[in-house]
Structure 1
């Protein structure tokens, strides 16, 4: 295996990891921002008001996009396993 191939595999793995994390975290961050703006406008300082919507929205995101995320992981793993003979020899 050449260094270029190793770097390419590592790049693909990092990109997949970044995609998975972004799909889960970014919607939660947007909901948290909207709740924070609402709290600032109404001067409500309740901690559960900011935590619960983010938690629920994260669960909904995982429920709807979870199958796609798992499919991406399976495809990457399958591609990696299929490329092992070419990487060794």
Structure 2
């Protein structure tokens, strides 16, 4: 296994991580922005107020997106295991 194959495998792994975690991070970012706007308009400056809506939104996102996320992770793992002989020797 040469360095190009290692880099390609690492790139594919990072892309899989970004695809799986990206939607949840986007949900947390969106909810955080909405809560920040509400805090700015109502002048409530409680820092812990943003955590509960983010946690609930991310948990709902996990429930909704779990089959898609698991499918991507299983495809990546299947591809790794299918090419295991190429990686080892």
Name the TM-score, length of structure 2 as normaliser. Answer: 0.89
Aligned residues: 89
Which residue matches 2:52?
A: 52
Shift of 1:49: 2.8
Greater RCO (CA < 8 Å, at least 6 residues apart): 2
Q: Could you list the per-position Cα deviations for residues 54-89 of structure 1 after superposition, in whole angstroms to 9, with x for gaps in the alignment?
A: 111000000000111111111100001101223445
Moved more, 70-79 or 44-53: 44-53
Structure 1 position 33 matched with structure 2 position 37: no
Name the TM-score, length of structure 1 as normaliser. Answer: 0.89
Moved more, 44-53 or 16-25: 44-53
Structure 1 position 24 matched with structure 2 position 34: no
Gaps of 5+ in 1: none
CA distance in 2, matches of 1:74, 1:10: 16
Gaps of 5+ in 2: none
- RMSD of aligned Cα (Å): 1.4
